[in-house]
Amino acid sequence: MTDKTENTSYKIIADWIEEKSSVLDLGCGGGELLSLLMERKNVKAIGIELSEQAIYKCVAKGISVVHENIENGLNGYADKSFDYVILYNTFQEIKNPAVVLGEALRVGKKVIVGFPNFAHWASRFQIFFNGRVPVTSSMPFQWYDTPNLHFLSILNFEDYCNIKKIKIEKFAFIGKSGSVKLLPNLFAEMGIFLVS
Amino acid sequence: MEKNSVGLVETKYFNFDELVLDSKEKLKPVTIAYETYGTLNKDKSNAILIEHALTGDSHAAGEHEDEDKPGWWDSMIGPGKAFDTEKYFVICSNVIGGCKGSTGPASINPKTGKTYGLSFPIITIADMVRAQKKLIDFLGIKKLLTVVGGSMGGMQVLQWLASYPGNLLSAIPIATTVKHSPQQIAFSEVGRQAVMSDPDWRNGNYYGASFPLRGLSVARMIGHITYMSDISMAEKFGRRSKEEKPVFKFEPSFEVEGYLKYRGDSFVKRFDANSYLYITKSLDLFDLAGEKKLHQVFAGIRAKLLILSFKSDWLYPSYQSKEIVKACKLAGVDATYCEIFSTYGHDAFLLEVEEETHLIKHFLEKVESEYDR
């Protein structure tokens, strides 16, 4: 993913989040998003992260962070103990996204999910004409070194929310040059949803 | 002297009349040996209490005039270090039951005029902390910036949280647990049995006679095995031997054997066998939550926690730290947890200086920034 897409996404997420709310970021990396939210919205931030090196970065930013796997890290939290739970660019890398999303919806009043859209035209183009698994700016990995375990599109996620009766409150679709309004499943690189 | 050392230091002594123990017995009078580094600021808001482990003492940093080795956590305490003595006032005291200046089984029982020996009452981690609270009160400190320690030191940190949650802003329990597992109790007991089976132990009445050195030395050797990891032993000693060819005799020939013997022998010169019994017992008795749930103990705690464990530590494995993390989550306590990669085993808390320094420095800055608000 390009830095620009990430910046745009972070700004959208920051706009959605209420001032002084509590936020749990699952797979928070080095805490880039959380520190933006702390700065802009004065949130009470907690991250969960698997990478030890990323933990050091978070602590240097003054973020409270727990070093563990999010696939079993949520069972300690009480129901609805956070205003927001964020699953940004993590969702596609976990073994059981359905379980984690379910847990996120249990501990969070609202959940923000952001993931690269596998049905972006560039991916479709590469599969169709190259006959190879796509390598794009939002998924810059070869088949043998990708951390992505699940590939989903914007429509896939919407379908899933329909089946599971998950309410989509807000959504945003992001392409190379900012927000995508037209045919997002074709033109957006990232989909971000606020669900409850 | 090492650069960034706090320099020459002296142990101080604080005396008070009596301490009511968990056992309801009274210990009186009580002496606490302690050292301080750095300067206490005007509003007394920069104090850090360091808790030592099983065989540690109040000499955590700097050097004593008559010794060539610095304090046991000198790598972490000093100007510019994790516990920066330019900013913080650092306190470390010897636990009661110990043998490094605080009242313990080798002290004189004023009732009899003789050493306590086994007439010394059973003490608990909570008793140790109760005594430290008196020292902190004596120093005029209302709120500690943090309480920190590894292993048994970590237990004292957790006990501080439970006993005096309003008197600390943060806590850093390292490589520790809220209660010993059967395996940990088992290792303690083997150590105690080694001491007690030494004929020189004489039911604890060895003062003024020959000390149970063999027993205590074996106890320490067992301890050292549990403080290291399979990998760290392999790296440090391999199968290297003093002898070129394999010789069948029972004197230590493998390097690891020589090392353990050396460790055992040097330990008995500085530690009292009865203290070893009393303190290991206090570790085994420690059960922070008891009948309660741990998150109930933590309910309402406003202090921030930094919880650290080490990957190769099999004596205080990470799952025990994760139990603390889980209770914090349930109780809504602000906690950061990191399992630091290390091959040093339990000893890592004394050796992984760079990682600990990074985490602790930034954590304390955050705690301070919130204190100012």
Would you state the pLDDT for residue B266?
95
Contact B304 A64 (CB under 8 A): yes
CATH number assigned to the domain with residue range B12-178+287-372, chosen from the 4 options 3.30.70.1150, 3.90.280.10, 3.40.50.1820, 3.40.50.720: 3.40.50.1820
Residue of A nearest to B365 (CA): A62
The string of DSSP letters for chain A reads --HHHHHHHHHHHHHHSPTT-EEEEET-TTSHHHHHHHHHH--EEEEEES-HHHHHHHHHTT-EEEES-TTTSSTTSPTT-EEEEEEES-GGGSS-HHHHHHHHHHHEEEEEEEEE-TT-HHHHHIIIII-S----SSS---TTT--------HHHHHHHHHHTT--EEEEEEEETTEE--S-HHHH-SEEEEEE-
Distance, in Å, from the CA atom of B202 to the CA atom of B292, rounded to the nearest integer, reads 39
**Least confident residue range of A9-18, A71-80, B12-21, B354-363:** A71-80
Q: What is the mean pLDDT of residues B140-160?
A: 98
- Output the average pLDDT for chain B: 96
pLDDT tier, B277 (very low <50, low <70, confident <90, very high otherwise): very high
How much is the pLDDT for A115? 92
State mean pLDDT over A144-148. Answer: 87
Give the residue-averaged pLDDT of A61-84: 93
Phi, psi dihedral angles at B160 (to 5 degrees) = -60, -45
Where does residue A182 rank: exposed (0-12), middle (13-18), buried (19+ CB within 10 A)?
exposed
Cα distances (Å, whole numbers) of residue B279 to B10, B123, B285, B286, B302: 24, 8, 10, 11, 30
Q: Do A148 and A177 contact (CB within 8 A), yes or no? A: no
The beta-carbon neighbor of A66 closest among B337, B358, B362 is B337
DSSP line for B129-141: HHHHHHHHHHTT-
- Please determine, for residue A179, whether its predicted confidence score (pLDDT) is greater than 90: no
Could you read off the pLDDT of B133-142 as tens digits, one per residue? 999 999 999 9
| Residue B332 token pair | 């809504």
Q: What is the DSSP string of B256-299?
A: HHHHHHHHHHHHHHH--HHHHHHHHHHHHH-BSSTTS-HHHHHT
CATH of the domain at A23: 3.40.50.150
Peptide bond into B70 cis (omega under 30): no
Nearest CA in chain A to B341: A52
Which amino acid is residue A38, in one-letter code?
M
Instruction: pLDDT band for A187, please (50, 70, 90 cuts).
Output: confident
Q: Alpha helices, DSSP H only, in chain B?
A: 125-138, 152-163, 182-196, 213-227, 230-237, 255-270, 273-285, 294-298, 318-331, 348-351, 353-372
Rounded to a whole number, what is the distance in Å from the CA of A51 to chain B's nearest CA? 10
Q: Which of the following CATH numbers is that of domain B184-282: 1.10.3720.10, 3.40.50.150, 1.10.1740.110, 1.10.10.60? A: 1.10.1740.110
pLDDT of residue A185: 85
Interface residues from chain B to A (CB-CB < 8 Å): 304, 322, 325-327, 329-330, 332, 334-341, 355, 358-359, 362-363, 365-366, 369
Q: What is the reported pLDDT for A2?
A: 62
Q: Identify all chain B residues contacting A58, using CB atoms and an 8 Å cutoff.
A: 336
Chain B residues close to A81, C-beta within 8 Å: 332
What percentage of chain A reaches a pLDDT higher than 70?
A: 99
Structural contact between residues B52 and B279, judged by C-beta atoms closer than 8 angstroms: no
Q: What is the dihedral of CA B104, B109, B115, B116, to 10 degrees?
A: -60
Structural domain that includes position A49: 3-195
Active site residues of B: 151, 313, 346
Mean pLDDT confidence for B308-332: 97
Q: How far apart are CA B173 and CA B305, in angstroms?
A: 8
| Among candidates A46, A60, A67 on the partner chain, residue whose Cβ is nearest the Cβ of B339 | A67
Q: Which residues of chain B neighbour A62 with C-beta distances below 8 Å?
A: 362, 365-366, 369
Can you give the pLDDT at residue B6?
Answer: 95
Q: Which helix (H) or strand (E) holds B77?
A: strand B77-78
pLDDT of A92 above 90: no
Chain A / chain B CB contacts < 8 angstroms: 54
pLDDT at B17 over 90: yes
Q: Which of B31, B35, B29 is nearest to B52 (CA)?
A: B35
Contact in structure between B300 and B165 (CB atoms under 8 Å) = yes
User: B interface mutation test: which of A43, A66, A70 has the most B CBs within 10 A?
Assistant: A66
Burial of residue B314 (CB within 10 Å: 0-12, 13-18, 19+) is middle
Closest-CA residue to B217 (of B189, B244, B243, B198):
B198
Non-local CB neighbours of B23 within 8 Å, separated by 6+ positions: B121, B122, B123, B124
Q: Which range has highest mean pLDDT (A5-9, A126-130, A141-145, B70-74)?
A: B70-74
Candidates B337, B354, B369: best to mutate against A (most CBs of A within 10 A) is: B337
Amino acid B366: pLDDT = 96
Residue A111 CB partners (closer than 8 Å, separation 6+): A84, A85, A86, A87, A101, A104, A105, A194, A195, A196
**How many C-beta atoms surround the C-beta of residue B248 within 10 A?**
5
Residues 6+ apart with CB under 8 A from B109: B115, B116, B119, B120
- Per the listing, tokens 């590939």 go with A151
The answer to whether the CB atoms of A56 and B304 lie below 8 A apart is no
d(CA B353, CA B361): 11
The count of domains in chain A is 1
Closest CA relative to residue B85, chosen from B108, B60, B110? B60
Reference B27, options B140, B149, B113, B109; nearest CA is: B109
Say whether A77 and B365 touch across the interface (CB within 8 A): no
pLDDT above 60 for B179: yes
In percent, how much of chain A has pLDDT > 90?
A: 63
> What are the residue boundaries of the structural domains of chain B, listed by start?
12-178+287-372, 184-282
Output the pLDDT for position B45: 95
Residue B372 has pLDDT above 60, yes or no: no
What is the arithmetic mean of pLDDT over A66-77? 90
What's residue B373's pLDDT? Answer: 46
Residue A22 sits at φ, ψ, to 5 deg, of -100, 135
What's the whole-number mean pLDDT along residues A53-77? 94
Q: What is the pLDDT of residue A1?
A: 54
- B363 chain-A contacts, CB cut-off 8 A: 59
Work out the average pLDDT over A65-90: 93
Alpha-carbon gap, residue B106 to B118, rounded angstroms: 9
